[in-house]
Homo-oligomer: A and B are copies of this chain.
Amino acid sequence: MSIKAGIVGAAGFAGIEAARLVLTHPEFELVAATSNELAGCKLSDLYPNFLGVTDLAFTAHDDAPLTECDVVFLAVPHTAAIAQAPALVQAGVAVIDLSADFRLKDPAVYEQWYKVKHTATDLLAQAAFGLPELFGGELRALASRRESGQGVLVGCAGCYPTATSLAAAPLIRAGLVGEGPIVADAVSGVSGAGKKATERTHFCFADENVEAYGVGSHRHTPEIEQILGIEGRLVFTPHLAPLDRGLLSTVTLPLGESGVSQEQLDGLYTDFYADAPLVSVLTGGAQPKTSSVAGTCRAHVAAVYNAHANVVVATGAIDNVGKGAAGQAVQCANIVFGLPETIGLEHIAIPA
């Protein structure tokens, strides 16, 4: 089988990572990588990483044979996916959207946080949420629709929501969380700030620095709340740290009356992810390291019972561009196309 794949917005960090994954995927064939700015430029001119791998050049969006693709990855800013997805789905394409446009189920919440009206609410209603370990059913349901020739749409989870939710979901779904705020302090590598050269992303400003940003206002807040069903309870504070790839979310969850022991926690988490090939649970107090998953679509999670304050501290580590973006998009595509979930995603992080 050869599944024709296109990537829209292929020059950015998520787009080019999607290209990397598609190019080494046994079942996908990269037929188009769009970038209006860089049309005509070879991928390997921008990223010499691709020298000796592909001679493909970026194409302008309007010149790309996207409707002839079986799958199109949209690695575009929000609102751009709303503009592009409908026609592609209409043309029978499986659209995997990495933007925020099809994540929030309630258009009013989208409008509240993104300050723009959602103009494709019909499509939004049909979109599956792209976080396979927590919403696999939605994705598998798309597989049969796609097989019958219809276009389908996946709105992939964002990077912070992925790490935060994978860390917190087992405890919340087990009904063990009590009342009060749920605090997620997360740290991302600088790739999370995007490819645009800005003062924030300048090496000399990002290097040897840690800082919080978007305190109380980050748009991933409602997405995490939707995933976990904790509307209005999340205190989400993202931070930047001087690494390229990697995201760690540390979630502090108040316990309900029943309490929990470390043994229970370890068992609960291990069971929860027993069938999730890309999620590993660290037990006995071991903590996830972002370096253990960098460059991959894997997630490492742990939950520790903090007896001192009677809370659970759950942590989740991912590669923000991998499992947090392009890797998850390919994982979703694998499911939608009825392929093994991990095919093309078997990478092992570089050990030191």
Main secondary structure of the interface of A (DSSP, over half): loop
Checking B20, B190, B307 against A348 with a beta-carbon cut-off of 8 angstroms, the contacting residue is: B20
Specify which of A235, A243, A317 lies most central, judged by the most chain B CB atoms within 10 Å of its CB. Answer: A235
The answer for the CA separation of A346 and B26 in the assembled complex, in Å, is: 12
Task: Indicate whether A50 reaches chain B with its CB closer than 8 angstroms.
Answer: yes
* Interface residue? A340 (CB, 8 A): no
Chain B residue numbers with a CB within 8 Å of A292 are 47-49, 51
- In the complex, how many angstroms separate the beta carbon of A13 from the nearest chain B beta carbon? 6
Q: Closest residue to A247 on the B side, CB-wise?
A: B210
A44 to chain B, nearest CB (A): 8
Residues from chain B with a CB closer than 8 A to the CB of A23 are: 348
Interface residues of A (CB under 8 A from B): 13, 16-17, 20, 23-24, 47-53, 180-181, 183, 185, 187, 189-191, 195, 197-199, 201-213, 215-217, 221, 232-235, 237, 239, 241-246, 248, 250, 252, 254, 277-280, 282, 285-295, 298, 300, 304-309, 311, 313, 315, 317, 346-352
Q: Are A290 and B210 in contact (CB under 8 A)?
A: yes
Evaluate contact between A282 and B210: CB separation under 8 angstroms.
Answer: no
Whether A308 touches B237, Cβ cut-off 8 Å, given contacts A180-B254, A207-B190, A278-B52, is: no
Bound CA span A290–B187, Å: 14
> Contact at A241–B187, with CB atoms within 8 Å?
yes
Report whether B252 and A181 are in contact in the complex, using a CB–CB cutoff of 8 Å: yes
A213, A292, A294, A305, most chain B CB atoms within 10 A: A292
Assembly CA distance A340 to B76 (angstroms): 38
Apart from A207-B242, A212-B250, list 14 A-B contacts with CB within 8 A. A51-B280, A187-B241, A202-B352, A207-B244, A208-B290, A209-B243, A210-B246, A210-B290, A211-B289, A212-B288, A212-B315, A234-B308, A241-B241, A244-B350
A17 touches B351 (CB 8 A): yes
With the chains together, A287 CA to B216 CA distance in Å?
12
Inter-subunit contact B208/A208 (CB<8 Å)? yes
| A206, A246, A298, A307 interface centre (most CB from chain B within 10 Å) | A206
| Contact between chains at B204 and A191 (CB < 8 Å) | yes
A252 and B235 within 8 A (CB): yes
Question: Could you jot down 28 A-B contacts, CB within 8 Å?
Answer: A13-B204, A13-B351, A16-B352, A20-B350, A47-B292, A49-B348, A51-B280, A51-B298, A52-B277, A53-B346, A180-B254, A187-B239, A203-B207, A205-B352, A209-B243, A210-B243, A210-B248, A210-B289, A212-B315, A216-B304, A217-B308, A233-B309, A234-B308, A235-B311, A237-B250, A237-B252, A242-B243, A295-B350
